[in-house]
């Protein structure tokens, strides 16, 4: 019997996140639904891993709405997944020109520099993202990567271009901001507030009846274009240096490397044959009775993780063991039951535990035979940005704890707060840039 746990599908959340901004930015389109349909199509291609098709549609939208940062962001991610790092970074750069605090774009730039082996520059972006979102688990994983690799791999940094600063826009005085707050709280009259607004208009600080798209002055645009040109040449120099130096690259997102390792030795981690047989060849767990309590002993074979896996799921497996060892169950005769787990050799095991990348089934994150047999947990999935992405350790631990519950004989629960509920509330990815977009 297969007990299934459903995985969270990100496509719907991706589409809803960006729908409003598309309606706002695509002013040249007479029918806004056409643009949203295009965007939906592109996202569907992306999630299915059809990255080139997605990019074609993103570019079509950008022809209509060239300043749409959401589309630029998605296109950059698709290009990065195609290992076109330089082109992806150009899109992330353009996003940050318009939205300097976009954490996904900041991470995208950091990942891009990491993919070229410019680890110190990558760390600057990861640290910048951490200031904006200190509790973001994706940011923390990339920060850990940068700290490790900077210590491991000394290298000569490529010289950066000098950034030309352009004059900042005149700011609104604090007293006017205070007036706006007091007006909203009915502490000052409409006339007093309007007098303040009129002052700003006369002084040239506030421009009323703005055009639909704000244009920079010619000098400002020249500065931005010059900086962009300098950044593009910087990427060219990095790319040439990497090729000339034969620089060793340790990629900041190890997800693709992990799946390649699994596929090279498929049978080592994926027990397809044994799963077909079921649990009949596994010995029953033994038990002892101590102080009128049944103590059921499970011998567990724990499969290896691939070499170089950055996330320690063997450690989180100990947490899953502890979760069930602390529980008390009731036997049919009314006595209490407790379970314990002991690592052992494969031929002695009641349970085989493994982490897998094979296709377990549609919307399935794990599998276990009831009572004894194989327990397998997906290490990652394709439902974030169209490429294989490792799950966050907390997600893997949740799935493992659920599947171990089946392994010791528990069925699904109808209680949504139970670990044995058949679907997971949230699937978090360890390195996916889209995982943190709300």
CB 349 within 8 A of CB 370: no
Residue 156: pLDDT above 60? yes
Concatenating the DSSP letter of every residue in 249-285 gives ---S-THHHHHHHHHHTHHHH--HHHHHH-STTSPPP
Let me know: does 225 contact 218? Beta carbons within 8 Å. no
Higher per-residue confidence, 177 vs 83 = 83
Q: How confident is the prediction for the chain on average, in pLDDT?
A: 83
C-beta of residue 181 within 8 angstroms of C-beta of residue 193: no
215 pLDDT tier (thresholds 50, 70, 90): low
8-17, 53-62, 328-337, range with the lowest pLDDT: 8-17
In the prediction, which pLDDT does 214 show?
47
Percent of the chain with pLDDT over 70: 80
Angle between helices 119-132 and 137-152 (to 10 degrees): 150
Q: What is the DSSP letter of 6?
A: B
pLDDT category, 178, cuts 50, 70, 90? low
Task: For residue 349, give both structure tokens.
Answer: 């095991």
DSSP per-residue codes, 300-335: EEEPPPPTT-SS-HHHHHHHHHHHHHT--EE-TTS-
Model confidence band, residue 212 (pLDDT cutoffs 50, 70, 90): very low
How does pLDDT run across 115-150, given as a tens digit for each residue?
Answer: 999 999 999 999 999 999 999 999 999 999 999 999
End-to-end CA distance of the chain: give it in Å, rounded: 37
Confidence of residue 386 (pLDDT cuts 50, 70, 90): confident
pLDDT at position 18, please?
Answer: 31
Choose between 29 and 326: higher pLDDT: 326
List, in order of start, the domains of the chain with CATH numbers: 11-165+218-251 (1.25.40.10), 174-203 (no CATH), 257-436 (3.40.390.10)
Q: Which H/E stretch holds residue 348?
A: none
69-81 and 103-115 are packed helices; what angle lies between their axes, rounded to 10 degrees? 30
Lowest mean pLDDT among 92-101, 188-197, 287-296, 320-329: 188-197
What's the whole-model pTM score? 0.75
Residue for token pair 């379970």: 339
Residue bearing tokens 């620089």: 247
Residue scoring higher pLDDT (262 or 325)? 325
Contact 339, 293 (CB under 8 A): no
Higher confidence at residue 206 or residue 408? 408
> 346: which DSSP letter?
G
Contacts of 346 (CB under 8 A, 6+ apart): 301, 352
């Amino acid at each position: 019997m297969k007990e299934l746990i459903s995985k969270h599908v990100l496509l719907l959340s991706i589409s809803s996140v960006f729908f409003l901004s598309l309606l706002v930015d695509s002013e040249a389109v007479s029918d806004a639904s056409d643009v949203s349909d295009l965007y939906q199509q592109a996202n569907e291609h992306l999630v299915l891993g059809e990255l080139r098709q997605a990019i074609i549609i993103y570019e079509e939208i950008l022809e209509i709405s060239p300043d749409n940062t959401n589309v630029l962001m998605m296109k950059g991610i698709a290009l990065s997944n195609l290992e076109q790092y330089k082109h992806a970074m150009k899109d992330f750069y353009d996003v940050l020109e318009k939205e300097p605090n976009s954490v996904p774009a900041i991470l995208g730039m950091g990942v891009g520099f990491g993919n070229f082996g410019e680890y110190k520059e990558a760390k600057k972006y990861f640290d910048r993202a951490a200031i904006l979102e200190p509790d973001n688990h994706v940011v923390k994983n990339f920060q850990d990567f940068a700290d490790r690799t900077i210590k491991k791999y000394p290298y000569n940094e490529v010289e950066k271009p000098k950034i030309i600063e352009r004059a900042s826009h005149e700011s609104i005085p604090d007293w006017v901001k205070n007036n706006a707050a007091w007006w909203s709280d009915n502490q000052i009259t409409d006339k007093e507030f309007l007098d303040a607004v009129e002052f700003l208009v006369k002084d040239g600080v506030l421009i009323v009846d703005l055009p639909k798209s704000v244009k920079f002055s010619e000098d400002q645009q020249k500065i931005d274009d010059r900086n962009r040109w300098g950044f593009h040449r910087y990427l060219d120099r990095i790319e040439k240096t990497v090729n000339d130096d034969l620089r060793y690259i340790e990629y900041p997102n190890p997800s693709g490397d992990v799946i390649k390792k699994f596929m090279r030795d498929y049978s080592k981690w994926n027990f397809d044959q044994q799963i077909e047989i079921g649990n009949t060849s596994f010995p029953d767990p033994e038990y002892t009775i101590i102080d009128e309590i049944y103590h059921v002993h499970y011998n567990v074979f724990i499969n290896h993780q691939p070499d170089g896996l950055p996330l320690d799921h063997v450690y989180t497996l100990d947490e899953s063991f502890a979760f069930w060892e602390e529980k008390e169950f009731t036997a049919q005769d009314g006595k209490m039951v407790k379970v314990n787990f002991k690592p052992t050799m494969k031929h002695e095991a009641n349970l085989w535990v493994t982490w897998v990348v094979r296709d377990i089934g549609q919307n399935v994150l794990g599998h276990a035979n009831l009572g004894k047999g194989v327990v397998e947990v997906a290490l990652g999935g394709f439902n974030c940005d169209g490429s294989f992405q490792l799950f966050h350790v907390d997600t893997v631990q949740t799935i493992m704890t659920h599947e171990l519950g089946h392994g010791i004989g528990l069925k699904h629960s109808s209680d949504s707060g139970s670990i044995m509920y058949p679907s997971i509330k949230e699937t978090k990815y360890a390195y996916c840039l889209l995982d943190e977009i709300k």
